[in-house]
Every structure is written in C-alpha cells, then in structure tokens.
Amino acid sequence: MNIQSIVEQMTLEEKAALCSGASAWTSTPIERLGVPEMIVSDGPHGVRRVPNVHEMAMESLPATCFPTASCLAATWDVALIRRMGEALAEECIALNVDVVLGPGVNMKRSPLGGRNFEYFSEDPFLTGEMAVGFIEGVQSKGVGTSLKHYAVNNQEYQRFSISAEVDERTLREIYLPAFEAAVKRAQPWTVMCAYNKVNGTFASEHDYLLNQILKEEWGFEGLVVSDWGAVRNRVAALKGGLDWEMPGPQPRRVQEVVDAVRSGELDEAVLDESVRRILGIVAKAAKTPKEGTFDVDAHHKLAAEIAAEGMVLLKNDGLLPLQGHQQIAVIGRAAENAHFQGGGSSHINPTRVAVPFSEVQSRAGDAEVTYAQGYPADDSFRQEMIDEAVTLSQSADVAVLYIALPTFKESEGYDRTDLDLTAQQIALIKAVAAVQPKTVVVLNNGAPVAMSDWIDDVAAVLEGWMMGQAGGVAIADVLFGRVNPCGKLAETFPIKAADAPARLNWPGEAGKVRYGEGIFIGYRYYDAKQMPVLFPFGYGLSYTSFEYSNPQLSAAHFKDVDGVTVTVDVTNTGSVAGKEIVQVYVHDRASVLARPEKELKGFAKVALEPGETKRVSIALDFRAFAFYHPEYKQWITEDGDFDLLIAASAADIRHSVTVSLASTLDLPCLLDKESTIREWLADPRGQAVFGPMYAQMEAGARQMFGSASENGNESAIGMDVMVMFADMPLVSVLMFQQKALPHHPEEIVAGLLEQVRSA
C-alpha cells in the first residue's frame, strides 16, 4: 500500500471519514482506493470479538479468558506474559481481529479503583515491564495492541469528565513511565486516550500529552484512538493529536472536520498526518491473513499456568499444601460458580471454565470432599447458609473457603466504597474458623481486601485474584502442592481503606480530583509515613525458603550513562523446588528534591531445585537513578551515593550495597534574582561565584548578632542566623545590609547572575 499516493488521491470527505470509525469495531474502508476495513476488539485478558462487528453488542464469540492484569503482574514473569500475548494474537487471527484493545497500564492510585483488576500495579517500573512483554508477544505475530488509557485515568467516578489535577513531576515519575517504556521499547500499533481531563483539558484533545510527549518526545509511530465515546470536540481533538475517533459512524463529526478545513480553522496538513497514521496501521493489519483456528486446549493450559504463577500465598501456618486429610469441606459459592473475571468491557465469553470444586475433588484422592454454598449471589444475609457451612466444617479435617468479591462491589463503571468483603462472607469465615482451626481462605478479587476481622483466625490465605477460566486448576494445584506458589504482590494491601495514599483527595469534587499525594503512591507512601500495612508490595510466601548471599557490584563508582549491575546468589534452602522473585530497590541518600525512601528499579525471577544456588544479575540504567526535575524539564541525576536494596519484598531487605554515581549532565543554571542563599550554595556555578561573599556575610552576621553560644548554634538573639537566612532570597538578605554595601542589593545580585551565566 503506497500511503502517500493514497492520501494524495483521497477527497477531503474521505479523509474526514477515515478519521472516524465505520461502526462499533471497524475503521472506514475506502474501496475505490483499495483501503480495507480494520477490526478491533476489546481485551486485554481475552479477545471479546462480537459476532457482528458493526454492532455494539455485549455477547461475544468464545475465546480464552486469561487471568486479569492484577494476577498477571503478580507473576513478575515478563517472558510468561509475552507467551500470553502470542496466544492472544493467535486467537485474534482466528477470530478476524486486527487490534486487541490492551494492555491497560494506568497506575493503581487507590485500592478503591473499580477497574484496578484491569491494571498491573501501583509501581510504574513493574507495570512498564509487564506492558512491554504483553505488546511484544501480541505484535510478534502481526496483530496490533492498543496501549490504554492515556493518561492519568485512575478512577471510575465521573471518569468521562473529571479533571485529574496533577503536577508535572508526578505525571512524569508515576503516571507516564509505563506508557513511555511501552512506546519506546515495544511500539504498540495504537494508543488509546482516556475519557478524563488532565489539568483541565480532555485527554482526547491534549496537545501536550498526545503531540508533544507521545508523538514527538517518545517517537510514537502508530495512531491515537479515542476510548469509546471520549471525543467531545472532533476538530479540537484532531489538533490535539487524536487520530481516530471510535465508535462510528459519526456523520456529524465527519462534516465538522470537512467544514473546519474549508473554513481554514483546521490545517489540512494536520488531517493528512492523522490519515497517514491510520493508513499505516491499516496496512500493517492487512499483511496478516485472518484465518484458521486456535488451540483451545493449549491456551486453556497456558491460562492455568499463568494463574498458578500469579497466585500469592499470603499466610500459611503450616497447613498447606494439603496432605493426608480424610475429609475436606469446601465452602463458598465461588467453588461451584468460578469468579474469574471482572465486569464491563473486558468480560470474555470463555471457551470453558474449570470448576474449582471439581478440581479439588480430582486431586483429593480417597478423601471425602463435601460442599456448602456459604453465601448467596446477592448482598443478602443468610444465616442458614453459614450454619450449614459450620456443620460441614466441624466434622471435616480441613475447610477450604472460596471467597469471591462480588461484581456489585468491584467492576468497571464504579469505584469501590470500601475494601470489605460482604457482611455474609466475613461472618462465614469467622464462624467456620471458630470451629475448624485448619481453615484455608481462597480469595477471588481484583484488588486488595481488608482482612483484619478474620485473618488471625484462619491458618492460611491464598490470593487467587480474578484468575481466568482455568484458575480453578491453578488453585487446586497450589492447595495440594502440585505447584509451589511463587507469585508476589504487585500492590500494597493496606490494613484499612483509610490508610490509602489518595484518601484525602478521593474521588474529587466540583469536577476535579487533586493528586495531592504527588509521587507518594503505593509503597512509596507507606514508606514515607512509616505506616504498617497488611501485606507489603512484592510480598509472597512459598512452600520452600530462599537465602540471598554474596551481593556484588559491577562497579562501586560509575557514570550514570554506564549504569551498574548488581548480582546476588540465591539458594533454595528448603526441600521442594520453587521460584523466587529477587527485587532491587534504589535509595538516594541525598537529593535536591524530595524522593521516595526507595523505588523498584529491577527484578528477576529464578527457578531453583532444593539445595540449588543460582547467581542472579540485575542491570540498572540511567533512569534507575534519575528523577524528573520540573524546572529543568528533564530527567536528571546528581553526584552522590545510592543504596541498592536487594529484597524479597518492599519490607524484606536482604542486603544493601552502596554505589557512588557520577552525573554526566551539564545542566543550565536555574538561579535568578529570587533564588535563596541555599539555592545559590547548592548550584555549582552559584557556589563558585557566591561562596566568598557568603563567607563574609557569615562573619558579618556573627559580629552583628553576637557570638555563637557554646553549642555552636545559637547567637545572642537565640537563633542560628545563617540558618534563618538560608531560605531567604539573597536579594532580601542583602536589603537588610544595604547601608554597608557599595551598591544596591539588586545590582549586586544582577552582577552575580551575570558572572554565573558567563562561567
């Protein structure tokens, strides 16, 4: 397809029409020029391909329902996520889909977010690594992805209109890095804009986000598509960088574009650029023949493997794995009615569903397995269900409770109001645990739940997530020890909802939500507050144990552009094979701006047989040590020492090694006439010019206000004068001394600034 030739032959009306969908799931074909339609489908954990792509139907064709993103991230396994992407692409090819709408990489700003199950993590680095694996897997087979929802889309409350008010540094360090990593390293075919506004401008019209950052700064080569129904003003959106509006058809919007070009309001070159981008992706899609079938059995098996890798063992008092029990009471509606995905646009019609109760029965051997529903589908309280469960559990050797957070509490479209299970579920767990100390709770949910009411009463807790259609297999395999759990949390589980970082700024009011917690979300916040949590980021138990030893560095001193590699020996000190996820966090000892106590910057997953030792290497690059400086408008590093924390979780630091970084940046001077004395002394050029004057000022201040006391801090007026002066503008300090100065303070500061700029 000669794109330039096609653009030149297209009429204005055809160009405008191409920039809107022809239907709910298709692009506009231009038959006379040989431009085919392109079909997209909801995702991201399965292909939600509707039978008639020209209608906005909810019923879809059968496809594999893989685990949702919260489970995927808990695997910390990029290679495994890539395999899932490859499988999704195979299903797209068989189901005639050109682009799958995913992955979702928005941050989990609050555990109350209703759509959190579709997102990976509270940490931008981990999220970015997962996204890259997903995109590379799908696109390796000639099928496109749609990175979403760009950007700062972190709640369902007023999601079509609310303005996320976020400062530049927070935007760059928390809410954009996963998008940036995915774009720069994997080049998704499309990026989907969010519904919400960002700092007052709709994401669909956001020139700064779409044109300046995404396309120009990051070099995005594909097209920007709207979330379905996100466009308010089509002409403004085209100017702002939104190429393709969905869903279609949109005849009124098409005419608005035509009229805007003819009136001169819209430069036709802007329209042509969007047309070129759309045609480029349509041409890519056309290269992959959409035909054949996919291996239903193999993909179901892969879904089970992924679910098992993402299971997180939160508590185990020695009860698991289950062995030698003669009677097992399985309690909970989710054991018979598997709760394996969330509500909304990502809802998949599965090819089959593994029933958790049946999977337990198949592995129980000679043991008798009984069942009680335990709780209803709705929010009613049914004491008779609890009584039945108690009776069964009392006579059993062990009770396994399948507890699923129901869709009416967690779904796309609305946020959660609390972190609690239903009143019935809490009462059920407490009642069963009271008569059966050997109780296991299996959770099926997409985000953290509160457990303080009951966790001390049970012997084991397994976080099973929304585990996909084969999750019942994975849970049973973990319970009976066929699989050693190795998943680790990709988000912090707080003790209660009130502890969450965004609590005071959630969900917003008067059309705005203020991101007042800044860069301190997730474990960054809990570290800064020194606040206890239920389970920390990166946490997960195993049926074996691991020892970390012999940490080493590729260099103790290094330049930021060279990076550094940290290595450590990991030994399986238990009696069964297992996998460990080694995490490396970076702690900056001193910085000109406030930084988190530590930040995840590398990880590796290693499989070990009993007694086996493997050496794990984790490379850290420039960005592992950098932070975004809003005044310099770039990522910067500073000379200094950093602690590299080798950890099993954010709260389990096994080793700390120190490195010294030399920054290679030649940053411009930011000093101006309002700069404080502290800022003058912190700037290398400023210190060189102002240092001698500061020494004179210090001596003069001591003489004027009296000699220091014995402790060396207080002057005769009861304060350390120079500390008081440190955060005052230099010009203001000089104003108090102007009678003794040869020139006016403003002239002196202007002279110093001239010296600095010419240095």
Read off the DSSP letter of residue 404. Answer: E
Q: Tell me which residue of 153, 129, 250 sits closest to 209, measured CA to CA.
A: 153
pLDDT above 60 for 516: yes
pLDDT above 70 for 714: no
pLDDT above 80 for 28: yes
| Residue located via tokens 């889909």 | 97
With contact defined as beta carbons under 8 Å apart, do 530 and 650 qualify? Answer: no
Q: How many C-beta atoms lie closer than 10 Å to residue 455's C-beta?
A: 16
Between 471-479 and 356-363, two packed helices, what is the crossing angle to 10 degrees?
A: 40
Q: Give the pLDDT band of residue 57 (cuts 50, 70, 90).
A: confident
| Residue 398 DSSP SS3 | strand
Condensed to tens digits (0 to 9), the pLDDT of residues 682-704 reads 888 999 999 888 888 777 766 66
Q: Which residues contact 273 (CB under 8 A, 6 or more apart)?
A: none
Overall average pLDDT of the 327-347 stretch: 95
- The total number of residues written for the chain in this structure: 759
Q: Give the pLDDT band of residue 234 (cuts 50, 70, 90).
A: very high
Rounded-to-integer distance, Cα 704 and Cα 713, Å? 15
Q: Which domains does the chain show, CATH number per domain?
A: 1-37+143-156+187-286 (3.20.20.300), 296-529 (3.40.50.1700), 546-662 (2.60.40.10), 677-758 (no CATH)
Per cent of the chain over pLDDT 90 is 91
Q: Give the pLDDT band of residue 721 (cuts 50, 70, 90).
A: confident
| Average pLDDT taken over every residue of the chain | 95
Q: How many C-beta atoms lie closer than 10 Å to residue 160's C-beta?
A: 14
State how far the alpha carbon of 342 is from the alpha carbons of 25, 381, 445, in Å: 21, 23, 9
pLDDT at 708: 46
Q: Tell me which residue of 405, 580, 423 sits closest to 486, measured CA to CA.
A: 580
Read off the DSSP letter of residue 469. Answer: T
Q: Tell me which residue of 261, 243, 182 sits closest to 38, measured CA to CA.
A: 243
Structure tokens given for 697: 């000022």
Residues taking part in catalysis: 227
State how far the alpha carbon of 140 is from the alpha carbons of 46, 181, 285, 453, in Å: 17, 17, 12, 47
Overall average pLDDT of the 507-528 stretch: 98
Rounded-to-integer distance, Cα 537 and Cα 553, Å? 25
Rounded-to-integer distance, Cα 382 and Cα 392, Å? 16
pLDDT above 80 for 712: no
pLDDT above 50 for 710: no
Rounded-to-integer distance, Cα 58 and Cα 65, Å? 15
pLDDT above 60 for 718: no
State how far the alpha carbon of 260 is from the alpha carbons of 12, 27, 263, 266, 279, in Å: 11, 22, 5, 5, 22
With contact defined as beta carbons under 8 Å apart, do 486 and 580 qualify? Answer: yes
Rounded-to-integer distance, Cα 357 and Cα 378, Å? 21
Rounded-to-integer distance, Cα 284 and Cα 301, Å? 30
Q: In what order do the strands lie in the sheet with 460-463?
A: 312-316, 460-463, 439-444, 398-404, 327-331, 368-372
Q: What pTM, to 2 d.p., does this model score?
A: 0.95
Cis peptide before 249 (omega within 30 of 0): yes
Q: Tell me which residue of 70, 85, 214, 174 sits closest to 137, measured CA to CA.
A: 85
What one-letter code names the amino acid at 204? S
| Residue 614 DSSP SS3 | strand
| Residue 10 DSSP SS3 | coil
Structure tokens given for 453: 């009411």
pLDDT at 451: 98
pLDDT at 399: 98
